Amino acid sequence: MQKWCLACLSIIVAACHQHTYEVKGTAEGFDDGDVLVVENGLESAFVADTILVRDGVFSYEGRADSALFMVIRSLKYTDVEASFIAEPGITAQVSISSDGIIVVGGTKANEAWQELTEVCNAYSRQVEQLAETFYQEDVGQEQLEDLSLRVGRLKEQMGFWLEDFGKRNADNAAGKFLQREAVWK
């Protein structure tokens, strides 16, 4: 009888763990007691919980039946925001710093998400640099047309990259999310 109870308890504990996710992180430049907010990234009005930074680290455990797009925000440093993918039974790694450097990993989906974030940020910086020229007073019509073509080519290149990224990551939550949103179309 006692072995049967122990076996049932083991099954129950394992089943509960399959519906939880964990986040372990570092918080460089944060003080003990600084508050981080965990939110469902697709429902930003929903605050799941708060986390306190202790000795430059934080951890959090939540419940998920499937992959969730989540966000950790700093209350102290309002421009610090880390998006990551929480998956049942898996631990995500999130590194944040007070100067805004964010790195996520620990899972195939989060490593892919980090790659996607880096490429999108680089693309945005290129577009912003080109857009600055639009606002110069001495820009001629020919230069504006050239800039429009260059921005269009960048957009097209980004679309091809996103489509390829979605295919390369079709087996993980980052690729599935991107395929579902089809942001390159």
Q: Is the pLDDT of residue 7 over 70?
A: no
pLDDT, tens only, 77-118: 999 999 999 999 999 999 999 999 999 999 999 999 999 999
pTM of the model: 0.79
Dihedral sign (CA 56, 57, 58, 64): positive
Cβ–Cβ under 8 Å, residues 125 and 117: no
Q: ∠11-14-18 over CA atoms, to 5°?
A: 135
| Domain limits, the chain | 2-106, 111-181
Q: Is the pLDDT of residue 4 over 50?
A: no
The two beta strands, 91-97 and 20-28, are parallel
CATH number corresponding to 2-106: 2.60.40.10
